[in-house]
Structure 1
Amino acid sequence: MTQTPEASPTPEESRDDRPELAAHDHGAPTLAEDLMLALFQPGSGTIAGENTLFYVLGGAVVTELALGEHVRADDDGAGGPRVGAVVGHPPSDPLLRSAWDYVAEKPRSVQTVLAAIGPRLREPVLDRLVERGEIRREHGKALGLFPTTSLTEGDTGRRAELVASVREVLVDGAEPTPRVAALTALISGSGTLPQFHREIPWSSPVIARAKELEQGNWGAAGAAEAVTRTMTAIIVNNVIIAAAVLPRNG
């Protein structure tokens, strides 16, 4: 369990338009929540890939919008694929709605969308996980003086279920649901999969299968979601680009 000094809220975190939590209504967890929970490392109390987390969470939000057919890929033929909102079909979850409102203004490149919505997702998503009891946030003091916050795993068992579903796809060859395929592709695209080596063996077959999912090759179960698979592949590819150029830590 790692303890770190509490930082003062940044201007971005203090903005009044930060997405509302809305976890109190006990709605289904978003893909961003599942992704952060899976990336949480219980042994150290840290989140894998912290330095690129904002891009990865942004990717999860846009991917879920694609899975729900709230957004589409618009290819203008010049700057490559852009994300456009499906008019009249906003999501009900406030976390997703904030991103949908942004792309509803006008179609934008995936990189632009990720950079715009990603930086302010970490705390709202973590707050939801804490509210659900999936992660515990414990406050203390270092040297008896300095406020600290540490994260520990909750007792819901959900993280183990998520990692098991990813393992079944990558190791056992199970055919994934679109949601599990997207979750696995995002974990792989973030570059953090090697950190799961105690739970998911890091091997050549695992790497090959993960790359297939990154490219939208989900198997027969995904045949009916061709548009969603294409959109997910576009998003994950942009996450990979971001993860490659940003410094990694943890």
Structure 2
Amino acid sequence: MTIDSWKPSDPPTLTEDLLLLLFQPRSGTIAGENTLFYVLAGAVLADLALDGQLATTAKGRISSVAEHVPSDDVLRATWDYLADKPRSAQTVLAAMGPGLRQPVLDRLVRRGDIRHEERKVLGLFRSTTLRDGGTDRRARLLGGVRQVLVEGAEPSARIAALAALLSASGTLPQFYREIPWTSPVITRAKELEQGDWGATAAAEAVTRTVTATVVNSTVAAITVLPRS
């Protein structure tokens, strides 16, 4: 799949879901901008892992599974990078993350989940801001994460990975209106980061291992960055 062949009717990637969750409709901003590229790259790796397109080596590096080539161009770029040779998760995050924000945001705009709004500043200068697109997809995603973190529901593998990455991003406190920042929520979020998804999350052990490696590498990468 090339960029031009992508259509809004294509199934959303985990990276799109994560960026949509991080979008804050009240302010028109995206939470965690200064660490966003690590988190989005982590979502790409987690998506590939969930689809059985990644494996781990004996040395803990990540490699592509040759017989499982992704059709999505965003996922394929990272898969190709790992097809060259196995690499550490942190290497992949740093290499692939910086180029993800714009194309993933463009997809959300084309889907109608987010829209651009132009306005004048001081009556003279034009400025473009992000606004909610009026679909219910963000609310449904946030509801699924809330059920897991607040209500104790057993997650699907996809929601488990999404909640784990949201926790890894360090932005969960900003969701306090929908997801109270309590000790049980923090504990469950950390469990998901470690791959403790519960019995009903239909994912093989290798998938959980790869995803936990990705999430913890994301946490480690974000931790050493200066906070703005």
- What letter corresponds to residue 146 of structure 1 in structure 2? F
SS in 1 for 2:80: helix
1:20-169 to 2 correspondence within 5 Å? 20=3, 22-24=5-7, 26-76=9-59, 81-169=60-148
- In 2, are the aligned partners of 1:52 and 1:247 still within 8 Å (CA)? no
Task: Tell me, in whole angstroms, the C-alpha distance in 2 between the residues paired with 1:101 and 1:87.
Answer: 10
Rounded Cα–Cα distance in structure 1 between residues aligned with 2:180 and 2:203:
30
Tell me: CA distance 1:49–1:190, structure 2 relative to 1, closer, same or farther (3 Å).
Answer: same
**1:141 deviation in Å?**
3.6
Count of aligned residue pairs for this structure pair: 227
CA RMSD of aligned residues (A): 1.5
Mapped pair 1:245 → 2:228:
no
Query: Which whole-Å deviations, capped at 9, do the CAs of 1:43-87 have from their partners, x for residues lacking one?
Result: 1111110100000000000100000111111132xxxx2110101
**Aligned-partner SS, 2:215:** helix
Q: Distance in 1 between matches of 2:164 and 2:127?
A: 33
Structure 2 residue 219 is matched with structure 1 residue 236: no
Contact 1:56 1:190 in 2 (8 A): yes
Q: Are the equivalent residues in 2 in contact too, given 1:21–1:128 (CA < 8 A)?
A: no
TM-score normalized with structure 1 length: 0.87
The correspondence of residues 182-201 of structure 1 with structure 2, limited to 5 A, is 182-201=161-180
Percent identity for Structure 1 against Structure 2: 63
Between the aligned partners of 1:84 and 1:44, the Cα distance in structure 2 is 39
Any stretches of 5+ residues in structure 1 without a counterpart?
A: 1-18
Q: Cα 1:138–1:213, aligned 2, differ >3 Å: closer, same or farther?
A: same
Any idea what the Cα deviations from partners look like across 1:197-238, whole Å, max 9, x if unmatched?
Answer: 001011000000000000000000236521111111100001
Aligned structure 1 segments of 4 or more residues deviating by more than 4 angstroms? none
TM-score of the pair, normalised by structure 2 = 0.95
Contact kept? 2:109, 2:115, Cα under 8 Å: yes
The separation in 1 between residues aligned to 2:146 and 2:6, in whole angstroms, is 27
Q: Do the aligned residues in 1 keep the contact of 2:50 with 2:203 (CA within 8 Å)?
A: no
Give distance in 2, aligned partners of 1:213 and 1:135: 28
Q: Is the 8 A contact 2:154 2:201 kept in 1?
A: no
In 2, distance between residues paired with 1:37 and 1:248?
22
